[in-house]
Structure 1
Amino acid sequence: MTSLVEPPKPRPGDRVAIVSPSAGLPGLFPHVYELGLRRLRAEYGLEPVEYPTTRIMGADPRDRARDLTAAFADPTITAVLATVGGDDLITVTPHLDDEVLRANPKPYFGYSDNTNVLNHLHRLGVVSYHGGSVLVHLGRPGALHPLSADSLRAALFGSDWYDLTPAAQWGDEPNDWNDPASLAAEPVMFPGTGWRWQGPAKVVEGRTWGGNLEVLHWLLAADRVAPAATLAGSVFLLETSEELPPAVEVYRMLRNLGERGLLDGFPAALVGRAKAWEFGRRLTPPEKKAYAEDQRAAVTRAFAEYATDTVLVFDVDFGHTDPQLIIPYGGEVRVDAVRQRISVRY
């Protein structure tokens, strides 16, 4: 694997960029956005710096790329946080100034459609961070989730090993952002079930790569994924979105990664807890359980066909459910299937 640069970390009191390279949802939900900014100041001591397209829905991809490039170029900015995901960031990354990004590495935090940026930085040799959203996590109704808050703090300011912790409670039924009053009450949560381990009892250490599966599939179609030989040895990060892809499509997307020679190169895979509810698809508890089970079966089938020696860990709390643990992207991770522990180095 190509060597990667670990960007220097911010310190409390620093200025950090707030950008919307994907969807400009802060313009539609300013009450959620402003709550996230207040918490960024109060809880982390960081001063958010908003860029011109942050609150604009449908901004020109070139303008969004210009904002992101400017955030990396500004010597007074020490980290870059995406407000939320979306579905068209694949049109933005071609307009980034790669020389600027490579010459000014900074911690970038995002997930979902931000997989485009995470993968782009990875190919430039820069470590970034899967997770963190100004709207979804900093703007969480009621209060920050303790696991999300602690993980984000460690990722922002720390540089040591950090043990990930299974959530005692989790959720995937968010409050309605259209109702400002909904910010007063925490979202509904469910009892945690721990992680589910499959595969050989061994210890795997490596650097991470992956992200949202649907976006990875787009990147493969656009030929923006590094060769399989370059990614061999990576610990694969895999999670699905609020669009709730059916299990058969999850299998087919992974099968395509297998045919490309990618799956066989991953000694371990961390599979995010499947989000199984959305406002347009309000699945009942039995339906949610069946959806998650079907997805685990689809992932298991794909790896059984292409990578029989891979350690699989299901229901890890990263991705589109609550809480969200921050995972370094291109950073180091230790997956200990003997003691059933996962550690990352921020």
Structure 2
Amino acid sequence: MAYLLDLGMRHELVLPRKARPGDRIAVLSPSFAAAGAFPAIHEQAMRRLAEVTGLVPVEYPTTREVGASAAARAADINAAFADPQVRGILAVIGGEDQITVVPHLDAGLALADPKPFLGTSDNTNLHHWLWGLGIASFYGGSSQVHLGPGPAVDDIHARSLRAALLTGERLEITDPGESEDVGVDWADPRALESFGEREPTQPWSWYGPRRSVTGATWGGCLEVIEWILTAGRFPFPAAVLDGGVLIIETSEELLPARDVGWIVRALGERGLLSAVDAVLVARPPVSDLTRRPDAADRAQLREQQRDTVAAVVQRYNPEAVVCVGVPFGHTRPQWILPHGGALTVDGAERRIFADYR
């Protein structure tokens, strides 16, 4: 099954087949090996991954190797694609240097046996590499953040994890009603049983015409998208995204709204904003383990980013349906979303649906 996008030639996005309970899932560290730095969190994540999905987690040489070379990490990715018994690939976490891993990847292996890949943040590099090959993936899923810490796996994460890996169903993306920017320090034993400081969420903000858009998704972490474009790794005309849905979010680096706006503006100048029919912007983290503004300041920081991004998108594409505040990025609970698959953004009914085929 595939979506076809018109590039003047046909660009197929293959939707990899689903796993079945009992199949193996590769658990990799394509960026930072948090599994090795904080093994107790990782081991709890592996138990929960098996419980939630019925899949068998399989680790590779660099899954727990902090400081592994880019070539060694790429070798694990290549090995996972080469193994016919592996039916899914999950990243432990993101990082900041996956851009150096991509040149070592074997496109032939991924094309010969496409598999669902799940990851967030720095894994935007891998998502875009796969997308360029014509392979859809799933944006989200970080075993070290969303499976290992806390008393349990969040319901919306578990549901979308199973949909992405196993069932391929269509789910409505909803607001869980609470959110945390950062959990308990993983070096603290309490991280195994306690969530971070959670606070009530606010209603999502909608902009643009009151119409419904269904399109293939493309995007990820804004900071990483900027690196990918700078490295020349999106060699496509903007028209490749015609009618699509742009999904963007910001990282734990806590960029000021002005800087976020500059990146989005660059996407506009590239023609990417005018190409899409809808834009989803994630609820941004505005605090971390060392910086925790008070509640009023946190709300203001989110509002500043919301207003900045919405204004830039509307400047380049006033016909786009825009929704800001959706929990799919660096906050928790987190929805995993299709990357290359279909998303429906209904500006009339104020609802969002994801197709996990």
Band the TM-score falls in, shorter-chain normalisation:
over 0.9
Q: 1:158 Cα deviation (Å)?
A: 1.4
Superposed CA RMSD: 1.1
Q: 1:282 Cα deviation (Å)?
A: 1.7
Q: 1:184 Cα deviation (Å)?
A: 1.8
- Deviations along 1:280-302, whole A, 9 cap, x unmatched? 32222112111101101110121
Letter in 1 for 2:242: A
The answer to whether the Cα contact below 8 Å between 2:183 and 2:191 also exists between their aligned partners in 1 is no
TM-score of the aligned structures, taking structure 1 as reference length: 0.98
* Whole-Å separation in 2 of the counterparts to 1:181 and 1:167: 23
- Deviations along 1:287-341, whole A, 9 cap, x unmatched? 2111101101110121122111111101101010011101010001111111111
* Whole-Å separation in 2 of the counterparts to 1:310 and 1:123: 24
- Deviations along 1:174-219, whole A, 9 cap, x unmatched? 1111112332222222123232211110110110000000000001
Q: 1:19 Cα deviation (Å)?
A: 0.4
Question: Given the alignment of the two structures, is residue 25 of structure 1 paired with residue 34 of structure 2, yes or no?
Answer: yes
* Whole-Å separation in 2 of the counterparts to 1:268 and 1:303: 10
Higher mean C-alpha deviation, range 323-332 or range 42-51: 42-51
Structure 1 gap ranges (5+): none
Q: SS state of the match for residue 333, structure 1?
A: strand
Q: 1:146 Cα deviation (Å)?
A: 1.3
Count residues in correspondence. Answer: 346
Structure 2 gap ranges (5+): 6-10
Aligned to 1:174: 183
Q: 1:161 Cα deviation (Å)?
A: 1.6
Q: 1:170 Cα deviation (Å)?
A: 1.6
Aligned to 2:47: 38
Question: Given the alignment of the two structures, is residue 275 of structure 1 paired with residue 277 of structure 2, yes or no?
Answer: no
The answer to whether the Cα contact below 8 Å between 2:31 and 2:97 also exists between their aligned partners in 1 is yes
TM-score of the aligned structures, taking structure 2 as reference length: 0.95
Aligned to 2:77: 68
Q: SS state of the match for residue 14, structure 2?
A: coil
The answer to whether the Cα contact below 8 Å between 1:109 and 1:131 also exists between their aligned partners in 2 is yes
Letter in 1 for 2:239: A
The answer to whether the Cα contact below 8 Å between 2:92 and 2:142 also exists between their aligned partners in 1 is yes
Describe how 1:210-221 pairs up with structure 2 within 5 A: 210-221=219-230
Describe how 1:1-346 pairs up with structure 2 within 5 A: 1=5, 2-225=11-234, 226-346=236-356
- Deviations along 1:62-86, whole A, 9 cap, x unmatched? 1111100110110000000000000
* Whole-Å separation in 1 of the counterparts to 2:335 and 2:349: 20
The answer to whether the Cα contact below 8 Å between 1:167 and 1:194 also exists between their aligned partners in 2 is no
Q: SS state of the match for residue 12, structure 2?
A: coil
- Deviations along 1:18-50, whole A, 9 cap, x unmatched? 100111111110010001001112222111110
